[in-house]
């Protein structure tokens, strides 16, 4: 018996020991969940909304439905839960809706953890039909179980079906006193106007980079992780105003660095390019240095930067420079370092606005091409080459002079060297050899500097042998004959049959295309004339009707000639002498009429 008691006591001791054993540690919570705001005071960057709600709660003007809209990660769902908590806040001494929730109330923990029986959250992305809305309408008739107000939070509300929206309208317009609706969406334009008109709308803003940077620095300090100032700047910039995105990047950077987080860790993790190297690449492009541009892009790609990301960074740099050029140094991006700001100001002082605008448009198009291309690096390289070539093209002023018939290059300049480089190429052309600028932009600047210093100009290097430039055709017909003499059969046929000439004033051609003609004819003709005449031509389409095509005119002349020949034959047949001859030679026909003594023939008198 004693042994039995001893065994039972031992079993009881083991059970007590097992019960006293430490429970497993809770799983790791990502920073975005761990530091999710729990009160309105914790929200960052949404001061306007918080102030409106504070005044509304203080005056008792609480709406029946709220619509929260904004980009991802700015706090829509979090705000909805905090609002539901404020509507149901209850603790000793407070029994009414309030914004000031310094201490947790009776229902706060359950509401923030999305497990309160009277605060129902529904994801409209997976509950889109009228049946789901019908359940809400049916349950809305009943009083809340424990809280003061029954709150329905519908996330991504824009994904509800049309029937679901229509079914919700009546209840949304006249809900019971104990029911509140809170909607959240990223696509406000997809929500019917009939729903929007029944809600109080709040547009949650993107959070600016400085506020994000300060917020991330505070979280890093609480986590006991050292993060450099430059790394925080990169993370805030990559977040693009989204707090959740930024916290996810910070979480990943902490794991990536396994220690102090530096700017290099963030760049390597996100595939970002060094901003200083981006400005180097931009300068190479604007001075037309194709070799340096390709080498710079290749080096960034080898270091892990994606081509699309490099082009996006280039577009950002162009945007920064353009802002400074248009509005002064105060318009610079506040996230730029001092060195980056200085370089942007130097570029803004050297480049003109048309050059920056062209670069921006080309980069926007190039980013899309790199995104969809099978070889993004090749697409990015081709874009940089096009931009380098563009630095040597004539400016709009030069094009206007060309259209007016004025010379496009200074007297004595080599016509084959192309147009004079624009101001952007002149300002940024390298002083040393090997610049690689198209159309000799770098060499032009060097020769000008030598002449200004009183030094003898360097002789031009021997050019590759090129065909001698043809004289400019005096008429459009002469132009077509030149094309035919060069055996450009396809181009000649298109010019004869598919073009109605509107104006011809070298070096400008304007015509109207016949329906069905190739739209690429203008580029093909422009390239041909440039090769043959050594000048740049402006070939443009026009909506004016224009003249008849060359083929139509040739057919018209042929018809007129045939009509004259037939008229001459009839006149000859009516002549008395000819009729007498035809009477002596029955069955004879007159086939042709030729003047006597013409083409070397002589009248023999026979």
More confident residue, 430 or 320: 320
Residue 491 placed within a domain? yes
CATH number of the domain that residue 338 is part of: 1.20.272.10
50 shares its domain with 111: yes
**Taking a C-beta distance cutoff of 8 angstroms, is the pair 167, 137 a contact?**
yes
> Does residue 351 fall inside a structural domain?
yes
Q: Are residues 55 and 192 in the same domain?
A: yes
Q: Are residues 541 and 577 in the same domain?
A: no
Element (H, E) at 66: strand 65-69
Measured distance CA(121)–CA(183) in Å, rounded? 10
DSSP state at residue 242? -
> For 337-365, what is each residue's pLDDT tens digit?
677 788 888 888 888 888 888 899 999 99
Using alpha carbons, select from 112, 113, 131 the residue that is nearest to residue 38.
112
> How far lies 276's CA from each of 239, 323, 339, in Å?
20, 18, 8
Considering the domain architecture, whether residues 160 and 187 belong to the same structural domain is answered as yes
Name which of 221, 301, 300 is nearest 261 in CA terms: 221
Last residue of one domain, picked from the residues 174, 203, 232: 203
Unique residue bearing structure tokens 């603790």: 91
E strands in 295-442:
none
Q: What is the 3-state secondary structure (H, E, C) of 254-277?
A: HHHHCCCECHHHHHHHHCCCCHHH
Burial degree of 487 (CB within 10 A; 0-12, 13-18, 19+): exposed
Domain containing residue 235: CATH number = 1.10.8.60
Two tokens, residue 574? 């009516």
What is the rounded average pLDDT of the residues 287-300?
89
242 lies in some domain? yes
Question: What radius of gyration, in Å, describes the C-alpha atoms of the chain?
Answer: 40
CB atoms within 10 A of CB 406: 9
439 against 157, higher pLDDT: 157
> Are the CB atoms for 86 and 98 separated by under 8 Å?
yes
Residues 258 and 316 in one domain: no
DSSP 383: H
What share of the chain has pLDDT > 70, as a percent?
A: 80
pLDDT at position 420, please? 40
**Is residue 97 one of the residues assigned to a domain?**
yes
Count of other CB atoms within 10 angstroms of residue 467: 9
**182 confidence band (pLDDT: 50, 70, 90):** very high
Secondary-structure percent of the chain, ordered helix, strand, coil, rounded to 5: 55, 10, 35
Domain with residue 483: its CATH number is 3.30.300
Closest CA relative to residue 164, chosen from 125, 197, 114: 125
Residues with Cβ within 8 Å of 64's Cβ and at least 6 positions away in sequence, in order, are 172, 175, 179, 180, 181, 198
Q: Say what the alpha-carbon torsion angle 333, 334, 336, 341 is, to the nearest 10 degrees.
A: 70
Would you say the pTM of this structure is higher than 0.75? no
Q: Name the residue with tokens 């019917």.
A: 192
Q: Is residue 72 part of a domain?
A: yes
9 against 387, higher pLDDT: 387
pLDDT of residue 65: 93
Measure the CA–CA gap between 62 and 182, rounded to whole angstroms. 12
Residues 53, 184: one domain?
A: yes
Please tell me whether residues 236 and 362 are part of one structural domain: no
Query: Could you give the number of structural domains in the chain?
Result: 5
**Would 436 be classed as within a structural domain?**
no
User: What is the rounded average pLDDT for all residues in the chain?
Assistant: 79
Reduce the secondary structure of 453-466 to three states and give it as a string.
CCCCCCCCCCCCCC
168 shares a domain with 49: yes
User: Which single residue is written with the structure tokens 């960052």?
Assistant: 44
pLDDT score recorded for residue 396 = 66
CA distance 291 to 461: 20
Q: What is the pLDDT of residue 347?
A: 86
Residue 461 has pLDDT above 80, yes or no: no
Measured CA to CA, the distance from residue 323 to residue 346 in angstroms comes to 13
pLDDT at 161: 92
Looking at the structure, tell me whether residues 77 and 216 fall in a common domain.
no
Distance CA 117, CA 135 (A): 15
pLDDT reading at 402 higher than 80 = no
Encode pLDDT of 236-287 as tens digits. 888 888 899 999 999 888 888 888 888 888 887 876 667 778 888 998 898 8
Q: Is the pLDDT of residue 313 over 60?
A: yes
Euclidean distance between CA atoms 81 and 38, whole angstroms: 8
Q: What is the pLDDT of residue 434?
A: 41
Question: Mean pLDDT, to the nearest integer, of 21-50?
Answer: 79
Q: At what angle do helices 275-286 and 376-390 cross, to 10 degrees?
A: 50
Average pLDDT over residues 393-397: 67
Could you tell me if residue 125 is inside a domain?
Answer: yes
Same-domain check for residues 557 and 527 = no
Are residues 343 and 381 located together in one domain of the fold? yes
pLDDT at 272: 67
Which of helix, strand or coil describes residue 471?
A: coil
Question: For the residues of 561-603, what is the DSSP string, one character each?
Answer: HHHHHHHHHHHHHTSHHHHHHHHHSTT--------TT-TT---
For the purposes of burial, counting CB atoms within 10 Å of the CB of 32, is it exposed (0-12), middle (13-18) or buried (19 or more)? middle
Is the pLDDT assigned to residue 449 strictly greater than 60?
A: no
CA–CA dist 354, 337 (Å, integer): 27
Phi and psi for 154 in degrees, rounded to 5?
Answer: -115, 110
- The CATH number linked to 156 is 3.40.50.300
How do 179-185 and 538-541 pair as beta strands? unpaired
Say yes or no: 251 and 196 in one domain: no
Distance CA 105, CA 91 (A): 5
In which domain, by residue range, is 89 found?
31-203
Return d(Cα 481, Cα 489) in angstroms, integer.
11
In a domain, 2, yes or no: no
């Amino acid at each position: 018996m004693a042994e039995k008691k001893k065994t039972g006591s031992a079993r009881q001791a083991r059970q007590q020991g097992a019960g006293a054993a430490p429970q497993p540690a809770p799983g790791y919570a990502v920073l975005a969940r761990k530091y999710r705001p729990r009160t309105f005071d914790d929200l960052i960057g949404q001061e306007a909304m918080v102030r409106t709600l504070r005044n509304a709660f203080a005056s008792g003007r609480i709406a029946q439905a709220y619509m929260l809209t904004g980009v991802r990660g700015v706090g829509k769902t979090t705000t909805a839960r905090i609002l539901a908590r404020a509507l149901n806040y209850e603790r000793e001494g407070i029994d009414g809706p309030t914004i000031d929730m310094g201490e947790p109330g009776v229902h706060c923990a359950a509401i923030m953890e999305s497990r309160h029986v009277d605060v129902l959250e529904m994801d409209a992305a997976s509950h889109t039909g009228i049946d789901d809305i019908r359940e809400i309408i049916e349950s809305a008739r009943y009083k809340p179980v424990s809280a003061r107000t029954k709150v329905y939070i519908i996330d991504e509300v824009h994904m509800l079906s049309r029937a679901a929206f229509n079914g919700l309208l009546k209840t949304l317009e006249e809900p019971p006193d104990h029911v509140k609706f809170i909607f959240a969406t990223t696509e406000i334009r997809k929500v019917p106007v009939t729903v929007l008109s029944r809600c109080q709308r709040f547009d949650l803003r993107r959070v600016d980079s400085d506020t994000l940077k300060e917020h991330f620095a505070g979280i890093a300090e609480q986590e006991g992780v050292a993060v450099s100032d430059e790394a925080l700047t990169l993370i805030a910039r990559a977040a693009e105003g989204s707090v959740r995105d930024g916290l996810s990047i910070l979480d990943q950077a902490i794991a990536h660095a396994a220690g102090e987080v530096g700017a290099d860790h963030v760049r390597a993790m996100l595939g970002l390019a060094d901003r200083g190297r981006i400005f180097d690449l931009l300068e190479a492009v604007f001075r037309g240095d194709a070799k340096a541009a390709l080498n710079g892009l290749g080096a960034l790609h080898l270091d892990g930067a994606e081509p699309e990301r490099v082009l996006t960074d280039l577009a950002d740099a162009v945007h920064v420079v353009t802002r400074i050029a248009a509005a002064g140094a105060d318009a610079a991006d506040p996230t730029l370092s001092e060195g980056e700001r200085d370089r942007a100001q130097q570029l803004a002082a050297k480049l003109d606005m048309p050059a920056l605008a062209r670069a921006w448009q080309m980069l926007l198009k190039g980013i899309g091409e790199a995104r969809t291309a099978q070889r993004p690096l090749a697409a990015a390289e081709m874009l940089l080459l096009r931009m380098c070539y563009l630095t040597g093209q004539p400016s709009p002023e030069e094009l206007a002079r060309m259209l007016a018939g004025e010379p496009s290059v200074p007297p004595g300049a080599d016509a084959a060297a192309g147009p004079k480089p624009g101001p952007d190429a002149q300002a940024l052309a390298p002083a040393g050899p090997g610049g690689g600028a198209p159309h000799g932009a770098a060499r032009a600047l060097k020769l000008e500097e030598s002449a200004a210093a009183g030094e003898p100009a360097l002789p031009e290097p021997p050019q590759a042998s090129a065909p001698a430039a043809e004289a400019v055709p005096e008429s459009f017909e002469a132009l077509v004959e030149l094309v035919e003499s060069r055996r450009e059969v396809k181009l000649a046929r298109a010019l004869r049959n598919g073009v109605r000439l509107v104006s011809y004033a070298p070096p400008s051609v304007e015509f109207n295309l016949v329906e069905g003609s190739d739209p690429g004819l203008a580029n093909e003709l422009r390239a041909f004339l440039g090769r043959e005449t050594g000048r740049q031509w402006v070939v443009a389409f026009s909506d004016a009707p224009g003249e008849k095509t060359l083929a139509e005119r040739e057919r018209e002349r042929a018809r007129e000639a045939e009509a004259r020949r037939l008229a001459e034959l009839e006149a000859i047949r009516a002549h008395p002498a000819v009729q007498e001859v035809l009477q002596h030679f029955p069955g004879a026909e007159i086939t042709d009429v030729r003047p006597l003594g013409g083409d070397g023939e002589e009248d023999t008198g026979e």
